[in-house]
Structure 1
C-alpha cells in the first residue's frame, strides 16, 4: 500500500506505515502535463457528444422520427456515461487511468463508426448511446480524478483548466459538425469523428499517469459519503439541474432555425454556450482557491437557472445569444466546481469513485429532460411551455443547494495547511 495524503496534507492512518512521495511532485510541470491530457480528452469527447444538436434535424428527417424519439439518442448517451461514471472512476482508482482511457477511445470510435451505418433510428440508441457514452465515461471521471490527485496548492485552478476542455470542445464541435454535415452529410461526418476521437483519446491515454498517491478504493468510505446529508443535497440538486441542462444542446439549434436563423448560426449557439462556459470553468476554478468552492458552486446554479428566464423571452437571435452566454457561464461554473466541491467535502483519496457516484444523477436528469421537452413541443407545437417548465426546475436545483454550507468540514484544506 502506498502512502496517501489527506486534505490536511498529512498521511492517513491506513497508509502511515510507508513514506510519503516528495511534495515537489505535486503542482509540478509533470502534474500540469496531466492537466493538458485531461483538457484534450474532454475536448474530444464532449466536442463529439455536444455536437448532437447539429445532427438532430437531419437524422430526424431521414428516419421520419418525432423530436422525443430523436432526442432519446442523446439522452441514452448521457445516461450511459453517468451510470458508468462510478465504475470507470473505481477502475481508474484501482488499475490506473491509462487502460480506462484507452478503452474509451476504442469504444467511442467503434460507436461513431457504427452510427454512420445505421438504417433505423433505434439502432442509434445502441451504437451512439453505448459508444459515445462509454467514451465520455472513460475520459471524464478518471481524468478529473487524476488531475485532483496531482495537485495540492493549485487543485481548483488545475481542475478548472482541465474541464475547460469541455467548453472548448463545445465551442468547436457543433459548428464543425454543421459545416461537415452541409458538405458531406451526417453519416460521413460521424465516420470522420470516429477516426479523430480514437486517435486523440489514444494519445491522451499514452500521456496520462497515475497520481503520486494511490489508495485502493474503500467501499466503506464511499458508503459513508453517500449517506451524508451533504451528498444528498448535492445529488438531488444535480438531478434537477440535469433535467434542464441538456435541453439547449438538443433543442436550441432547432429553436433558432424555427425563428429564422441559418443552419450555421443555429449550431453556433451551442458553440457560444461552450465559449461562455470556458470563462466560467477557468475563472471560477481559480477564484475557488481563494473564495471557496461551495459558495461559488451555489452562485453558478443561480446564474444557470436565471438564464432560462432569458430563453423564455427570446424571440430574436441576439436574445438567444444572450441566453447562450449566461447559461454557458453558469454551466461552466457548475462543471468546473463539482470536482472541487467533492474534494472539499469528502477529500481526494476516493475522488474518482465519489465523483462518479454523483454523476449518476446526470443520467436520471438526461432521461427525463430532453424526451419530455420533445413530447411537450410535439403536443403543443410551441417551445414556450417547455422552456417555462425548465426554468422552474432550474430554480429548484438552486434551492436544494442552499443548506449545503452547513456541512462544510471544519478542518482546513490542503492548500491552506501547506501555505
Structure 2
C-alpha cells in the first residue's frame, strides 16, 4: 500500500520539489559564465568555442525535452528526474577534467544536456497534473526556483573558482547538484489520483467518500487503475484526452509554438550580452554585473506574481501582459544611456520573462489537459525552446557587423511584439475542439 495514501494533500510538496530541482539545474547553468572565463584563461581556449559549446548545450537539452516528457508520462517523474541527476553530474564532471575542447563538448554538449532535459519539463508536467484551479500559483512556485538558483549559485561558483580553481569548483557543484537533485526526485508522484487524492486537494463529495475510502484501504492497486480510467474531478476524461499527436495537428498548438519561439529566440540575449552591453556604455565591471542581478531579481518576482495572477485574470491575458512588458523592456534596454533606465528595463525584462515562462506549462495544460502533459509540454519545449540557443550567437554576429547592440535589442523588441500579436489570436480554452 502506498504510504502517501490518506495523508494531507501532496501537491504542494510536489510544487516545492519542482522549485528545488530548477534551483539546482539553473543554478549550475547560470554559473557557466564564471567557469568560462577561468577555463579560457587557464587553457587558452577561445571564448567563441566555449560559447559554442554552451549554445550546443542549450539546443541539446531543449531538443531532448520531447523525449523526457514522454518518459515522464510513461514511467513517472521520479525515475526520470533521478536519472537526470546522475547524467547532469556526470556531464559536468567530464567538463571538470577536460583536457581538450573535444572533452568540453562531450561533457557539456552531450552528457549534461540529457540531465538538464530531465528537469524543467518533467517537473512542470507533473505539477500541472496536481492542480487545476491553482495551477498558475503552482507553476509559479516551480519556475521561481530557476530564478533563485540564478541569483544564489553564481556567487558561490565565483568564490569556489577563486579559492580552489575552476576544475574543483565545477566538480564540487556537479556532485552537490546531482545528490540534491536525486534526493528531491523522491518527492515526486505522477498525479493525485495515483494516491487517492484530487487536483488542488479537493475532497470527494460526501455521498461517495465512504466508498472511496473503502476502495483505497481494501484494494489500493485496483483503486489506482480505476482512478486513471474514470473521469477526473476537473472534468477531463483520460480516455478522450488530448494526445501529443492530436495537439500537434491543432492550429492552437502552432500559435502557442509561434508565441514562445518568438520570445525564446531572444530570451538569453540579455543574459549572454547584458554585461558586455553595459560595459560598452562605459560602466564599471561591478555596475555592469548588476544588470544580470537585476534580471534575476525581476525574474523571481515575475514568477511568484504572474503565476497566481493568471489563476484569476485568465491565463491568456497574463501571457499578453507579460509579452507586452517584455517588448517595452527591450525598447528600454536599446534606448539606455544611463544606469537608471538600464536597470529598470532589466528588471522589467526579468519580470516579464519570468512571468511568461511560469505561465507557459499552465497555459498548455489549460488547452490540452493533464493526461499527456509531459509529451505535449515536452514537444513545445523541444521545438520552441530550441530557438533560445540561436539568439545569443546571432547577437554576437550582429555586434561584429554593426559595431553596437542597437539592432540586437530592437529586433528583440520586434520579435516579442509579433509574439504578442499571436497571443491575441488564441481562443478560450473551453472553446478548443479536437481537430
Number of the residue aligned with 1:278: 300
CA distance in 2, matches of 1:391, 1:313: 12
In structure 2, the partner of 1:361 is 383
What's the offset of the Cα at 1:42? Answer: 0.5
Change in Cα spacing, 1:312 to 1:64, as seen in structure 2 (3 Å) is: farther
CA distance in 2, matches of 1:401, 1:122: 42
Residue 430 (structure 2) pairs with residue 409 (structure 1): yes
Does the alignment pair 1:337 with 2:359?
yes
Bigger radius of gyration, 1 or 2? 2
Paired residue total: 387
Q: CA deviation at 1:380?
A: 3.8
- TM-score, structure 2 as length reference: 0.81
Deviation at 1:139, TM superposition (A): 1.4
Q: Label 1:302 to 1:66 Cα distance change in 2 as closer, same or farther (>3 A).
A: farther
> What is the rounded CA distance, in whole Å, between the counterparts of 2:87 and 2:284 in structure 1?
34
For the pair 1:137 / 2:158, whether they are aligned, the reply is: no
Structure 2 residue aligned with 1:77? 57
Which residue matches 1:102?
82
* Structural mapping, 1:240-319, within 5 Å: 240-261=262-283, 263=285, 265-319=287-341
Secondary structure, counterpart of 1:403 in structure 2: coil
Stretch moving more, 196-205 or 61-70: 61-70
Q: CA RMSD in A?
A: 2.7
What secondary structure sits across from 2:190 in the alignment?
coil
Distance 1:134 1:268, change over 3 A: farther
1:318 offset after TM fit, Å?
Answer: 3.4
Q: How does 1:89-128 map to 2 (within 5 A)?
A: 89-128=69-108
Shift of 1:62: 4.9
Q: CA deviation at 1:408?
A: 2.8
Question: Which moved further from structure 2: 370-379 or 338-347?
Answer: 370-379
SS at 1:138 equivalent: coil
Q: Please give the alpha-carbon distance, in whole angstroms, between the structure 1 residues aligned to 2:78 and 2:287.
A: 38
Q: Which runs of 5+ in 1 are unaligned?
A: 1-20, 412-419
1:354 to 1:330, Cα distance in 2 relative to 1, 3 A: same
Counterpart of 2:219? none
- Distance of aligned partners of 1:269 and 1:78 in 2 relative to their CA distance in 1, 3 Å threshold: same
Per the TM alignment, residue 34 of structure 1 is displaced from its structure 2 partner at its CA by: 0.8
Structure 1 window deviating more from structure 2 (373-382 vs 159-168): it is: 373-382
Q: How far, CA to CA, are the matches of 2:416 and 2:133 in structure 1? A: 33
Taking the aligned partners of 1:372 and 1:66, their CA distance within structure 2 comes to: 18
User: Contact between 1:238 and 1:361, CA under 8 Å: does it hold in 2?
Assistant: no
Partner of 2:232: none
Q: Is 1:377 matched with 2:399?
A: yes
Q: Closer, same or farther in 2 for the Cα pair 1:134/1:319, shift >3 Å?
A: farther
Is this contact kept in 1: 2:306–2:358, CA < 8 A?
Answer: yes
1:13 maps to what in 2?
Answer: none
Alpha carbons 1:79, 1:367 under 8 Å: kept: yes
CA positional deviation for 1:175: 3.0
